[in-house]
Amino acid sequence: MTTDYTPMWQELGLDLAGHEALLNVLGTAYTDIYLSQKNRPEGMGYFDFVMSEVHGLRIKELMDEKAAGRKIIGSYCVFVPEEIVLAANATLVGLCSGADFAMEKVEQLLPRNTCALIKSSFGFKIGKVCPYLESADMIVGENTCDGKKKAYETLGTLVDNLYVMDLPQTKTDQTRDLLKAEYMKFKTAVEELTGITVTAESLKSAIDVVNAKRAAIHRLSALRKADPAPISGLDALLANQVFFYDNPARFTESVNKICDELETRIQEKTGAFPAGAPRILVSGCPQAVPNWKLHMIVETAGAVIVGEESCVGERGTRNLTADTGTTVDEMMDAIVDRYFQVDCAIFTPNPQRLDHIQEMVTAYNAQGVIHYGLQFCQPYLMESIPVEKALEEKNIPCLRVETDYGMEDAGQLKTRVEAFIEQLR
């Protein structure tokens, strides 16, 4: 029996007609892209259920938490430390920014040549179709790129409680101190929101929870190194996307369960793709739900995506937070050190990212790299050319793709991707 969540959505102030249209499109896309795959692991049934209840049961859980006095904090970026949020007895959820919505209204507030991710976040707010955003007690923005930095000035007029975190753009001892100061200010803001002081005990527990979640994804990523690949890139991408809004403990358990199954599949040489299928690493901009376009095009063309060098992927989850600290200050230092290693394209210079791409190519036995850039995303588009040159100097084929969330260029992309795969064969 299907639960009717309409009263809950009404209470959140969603535009019911627009929201129903969004869910219909999302459901059709998920069926066509995900449920049509062959040889899927049985453990993906959990993630299919998550997606079927993405605006239903999970939102009810968040509303139940709010009713019990817990605060919900929404964010758009991996630089927002979940450890601090959990330590203050709040819940962190990622916010919708992976599809076009209400673009005509968005372009009355933002220039047309703003990147799709920023426009999407505005579209979901203006269209009132994101229950995660509407249920949040605080929205956290972060000054990564210039587009976000200026867009948050306008977003602040649309939401009740926007907290903007400043981020360094270079990596030095001085800018590390800046990041620590920002995280200490954020900790204070979260404590004021929740009325709960972060203690050494609560911060240690939060670090353990988030480390366990990342360790589960690391385990899944490592299993993708096998040939034949035991899981499709599409399914692995979905796990990385769900990472941002599922209950942490349940997510960790579910990912470890699917990893147990994948280990058996590897022993039995059972793959989501045949052995010897061309292996591709995707690098570049993050891909949030329901942005599955590139993975779908690549994998329906017969290649398998074996890794994502992305914020929704290895860049966002690569490092654990050191758990040796005993005081709040020592643990805050460990959190700062962990997040300071994220090699986002906002940093200049950014040689670590080039190194990581090449390390991932080797580790995952990738035969080529597709650099994924969202239109008008200056940092990643600027880095795409040096990335391509560095890879080609090592005889690693690279295809640079610049696209948005629409399907208008799908035919052209398909042609280019198919030619790239033939090159790899």
Domains 6-199 and 204-320+344-424 share a fold: yes
Percentage of the residues of the chain whose pLDDT score is greater than 90: 99
Domain ranges for the chain: 6-199, 204-320+344-424
- Structure tokens given for 119: 């426009």
Q: Which pLDDT score is estimated for 49?
A: 96
pLDDT digits (tens, 9 = 90+) for 221-264: 999 999 999 999 999 999 999 999 999 999 999 999 999 999 99
Per the model's pLDDT, the better-predicted residue between 225 and 2 turns out to be 225
Top-level class of domain 6-199: alpha beta
Provide φ and ψ at 284, rounded to 5°: 125, -135
Confidence of residue 1 (pLDDT cuts 50, 70, 90): low
Is 274's pLDDT higher than 90? Answer: yes
Q: Which pLDDT score is estimated for 242?
A: 97
pLDDT digits (tens, 9 = 90+) for 340-378: 999 999 999 999 999 999 999 999 999 999 999 999 999
Q: Which pLDDT score is estimated for 57?
A: 97
Fold of 204-320+344-424: Rossmann fold (3.40.50)
pLDDT digits (tens, 9 = 90+) for 49-89: 999 999 999 999 999 999 999 999 999 999 999 999 999 99
Mean pLDDT, rounded, for 11-26: 96
> In whole numbers, what is the pLDDT of the chain averaged over residues?
97
